């Protein structure tokens, strides 16, 4: 009987390495299956690890592109622009009225920086803009209070006062450049003549 027990123990001992190797191989098989499954999931997901982030970014870009159509796209120097006497004195100044137009052609109010330049007008020439006579300091209307100061709501335009002593015999071209908040530069030109 003792010999039978010993033989059974020796059989069990001899079977343990086989059982261990079977368990190890089944664990390795399971592990390789899990790795393959993860690889397939990542391949199907592409490179996008955070799908919500990309969707949010795309929506923000779409929203910004909609609003960008309402940014200034063109300048219109209104025909009211002229030389006037400053405060009833002999001094003369240019009073330009400038409206900003969006991509739909509507007059808008927008933060911007305005630059005014005055050129001599050359008559009967392919290039009527001659030498520059004066350039005024930039007028920064990015601050809401400054913007409101120059804005004339009944005209839907900005009104400026530019001091200048014109030559009575000379015609001029006023160039207005608008530096928009989106980095775009737009400009327009207007012919001026001193009338008495």
Residue where a domain stops, chosen among 37, 53, 68: 68
Q: Which of 84, 97, 104, 93 is nearest to 153 (CA)?
A: 97
Same domain, 44 and 131: no
Residue where a domain stops, chosen among 39, 68, 97: 68
Same domain, 187 and 92: yes
Distance CA 74, CA 112 (A): 13
Same domain, 81 and 136: yes
What does the pLDDT read at residue 109?
Answer: 95
Instruction: Dump pLDDT digits (tens) for 90-133.
Output: 778 999 999 999 999 999 999 999 999 999 999 888 888 999 99
Query: Looking at the predicted structure, is the pLDDT value of residue 165 above 50?
Result: yes
Burial track 143-178 (b if 16+ CB lie within 10 A, e otherwise)? eeeebeebeeeeeebbbbeeebebeeeebbbbbbbb
Same domain, 40 and 79: no
Same domain, 45 and 134: no
Q: Quick one: which H or E segment has residue 195?
A: none
% the chain with pLDDT above 90? 48
Q: How confident is the model at residue 42 (pLDDT cuts 50, 70, 90)?
A: low
Same domain, 81 and 108: yes
Query: Looking at the predicted structure, is the pLDDT value of residue 6 above 70?
Result: no
Instruction: Dump pLDDT digits (tens) for 139-162.
Output: 999 999 999 999 999 999 999 999
Q: What's the domain range around 40?
A: 2-68
What does the pLDDT read at residue 163?
Answer: 92
Query: Looking at the predicted structure, is the pLDDT value of residue 34 above 80?
Result: no
Are 179 and 72 spatial neighbours (Cβ–Cβ below 8 Å)? no
What does the pLDDT read at residue 77?
Answer: 97
Contacts of 100 (CB under 8 A, 6+ apart): 72, 74, 75, 76, 107, 108, 109, 110, 112, 158, 178
Same domain, 80 and 21: no
What's 184's domain CATH number? 2.60.40.10
Same domain, 88 and 118: yes
What does the pLDDT read at residue 176?
Answer: 98
Query: Looking at the predicted structure, is the pLDDT value of residue 53 above 50?
Result: no
Same domain, 181 and 142: yes
Same domain, 80 and 144: yes
Residue where a domain stops, chosen among 47, 68, 89: 68
Same domain, 47 and 89: no
Q: Which of 159, 112, 114, 158 is nearest to 135 (CA)?
A: 114
Side-chain half-sphere CA neighbours of 12 within 13 A? 6
Across 64-71, average pLDDT: 74
Same domain, 177 and 95: yes
Tokens of 157: 């335009």
Q: For the chain, how many structural domains are there in total?
A: 2
End-to-end CA distance of the chain: 139
């Amino acid at each position: 009987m003792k010999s039978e027990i010993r033989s059974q123990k020796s059989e069990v001992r001899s079977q343990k390495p086989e059982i261990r190797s079977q368990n190890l191989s089944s664990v390795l098989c399971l592990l390789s299956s899990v790795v393959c499954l993860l690889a397939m999931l990542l391949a199907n997901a592409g490179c996008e690890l955070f799908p919500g982030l990309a969707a949010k970014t795309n929506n923000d870009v779409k929203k910004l592109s909609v609003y960008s159509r309402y940014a200034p796209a063109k300048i219109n120097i209104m025909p009211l622009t002229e030389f006037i006497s400053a405060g009833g004195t002999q001094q003369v100044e240019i009073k330009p009225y400038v409206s900003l137009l969006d991509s739909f052609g509507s007059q808008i109010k927008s933060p911007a920086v305005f630059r005014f330049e005055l050129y001599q007008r050359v008559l009967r020439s392919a290039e009527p803009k001659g030498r520059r006579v004066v350039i005024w300091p930039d007028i920064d209307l990015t601050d809401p209070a400054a913007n409101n100061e120059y804005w004339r709501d009944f005209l839907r335009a900005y009104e400026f006062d530019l001091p200048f002593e014109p030559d009575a015999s000379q015609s001029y071209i006023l160039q207005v450049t608008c530096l928009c908040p989106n980095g775009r530069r737009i400009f327009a030109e207007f012919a001026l003549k001193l009338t008495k």
